[in-house]
Amino acid sequence: MSTGAVLRRGRWGGWALAFALAWWAVVASAAEFTISKAAARLEDGAYLVDATIAYEFSTAVLEALENGVPLTVELHLQVRREGAWVWEPDVVDSRLRSQIRFSPLLGTYRVTNLDTGSQRSFASRDRAIVALGEVRDLVLVRSDVLDPEETYRVDMQATLDIESLPLPLRPRAYLSPDWNLSSDWSRWRLHP
């Protein structure tokens, strides 16, 4: 193999690496969701979570919503013992899914908790998105499950669920940063 061939191969490899990094940077930088005021409180023997999530959907996503495409967001919650071994299971690992969709008959936006089935309708899209991001009295874990001597780490992340989108939209959604929407992991500690 000639030196030129090695250089050409190295150049192609470099281009591929640069492209992968750029794509990852674009996708990773598209974290438009923000979790704020996330906290857990003990009430009636259980820890309840209150949080406010600001869903900043991209224009493409909002356009899809206006065109009748339901959007599903997933709230990923993890509770893990501080300093746990790798193979130690999480105390809590749950995914809560909510959906927002447009009802053209009444011109309203309906927010549905897919786990409980409860629905709420809103006349405006912004109100519906705000309501989508309000988490109140979400049962995280029963207090008797936790060891009072230990400290636990709670992680929370909100993500737009691409797999719930209509099939034709998914290939593009996976490749487009407009659709790869998620929040950073919000983390806080829990002292039982």
Partner 1 sequence: MAVASVTRPRTALLVALLLLVPLLVTLDLMSSAVQNSTTLSRLFIPLLLFSVLGLAVLLVLVVANLVELVKQYRRRVPGARLTARLVVIFAALALPPVLVVHHYSTDFLRHGIESWFDVQIDEAMEQVLELSRSSLNLQLRDQLRATERLLPSLPDATDIPTLAVRVAELRRQSGATELTLLNPEGIVIVSSNVNPGVVVPEVPPDAVLQQVRDSGSYVGTMVYGEDGAPHVRAVAGERLARRFILHALFPASTHLQELGEHVQDAYVRYRELAYLRESLMFSFSLTLFLVLLFSFFAALWTAFYSARRLVAPIRDIAEGTRAVAEGDFDTQLPEPRIQDEMASLVGSFNAMTRRLAQARAATEASRRELEAQREYLETVLGRLSSGVMTIDDQQGLRTANPAARQILRVDLDRYLAGPFAALGQASPQLAQFVETLAAPLRNTSAEWREEITLYGGEGRQVLLCRISPLPAADGGHVLVFDDVTTLVKAQRDAAWGEVARRLAHEIKNPLTPIQLSAERLRRKFLKTMRGDDASVLDRATHTIVQQVEAMKEMVNAFSDYAKPSQLHRSPLDINQLVADVMELYRAAPGAVAVSVDLGAAGARVEADPTRLRQVLHNLVKNALEAVADRPAGEVLVRTAVIANDECPLAEIQVLDNGGGFDEANLGQIFEPYVTTKTRGTGLGLAIVKKIVEEHGGIIWAANRPEGGGGMTLRLPICGLAAAAPSPPAPQPTPEERARHDRALRSGSR
> Which listed residue (113, 169, 177, 178) binds partner 1 by CB under 8 A?
169
Check residue 1 and report its DSSP letter: -
Chain Cα centroid distance, residue 17: 27
Minimum CB distance to partner 1 smaller for 46 or for 130: 130
Judged by CB under 8 A, the chain residues 82 through 121 that form the site for partner 1 are 101-107
Q: Is 168 in the site for partner 1 (CB under 8 A)?
A: yes
* Two structure tokens written together for 168: 């034709």
Q: Which stretch binds partner 1 (CB under 8 A): 16-24, 38-46, 140-148, 168-176?
A: 168-176
User: Which of 11-19, 62-70, 71-79, 81-89 is the region at the interface with partner 1 (rule: CB under 8 A)?
Assistant: 62-70
Q: Are 73 and 156 in contact (CB under 8 A)?
A: no
Radius of gyration of the chain (CA): 21
4 scored as a contact of partner 1 (CB under 8 A): no
Apex CA 100: angle with CA 97 and CA 105, to 5°? 145
Q: Judged by CB under 8 A, which stretch of 1-9, 48-56, 140-148, 169-177 contacts partner 1?
A: 169-177
Query: Tokens representing 191?
Result: 């002292």
Residue 125, amino acid: R
Contact residues for partner 1 (CB under 8 A)? 63-64, 67-69, 101-107, 163, 166-172, 174
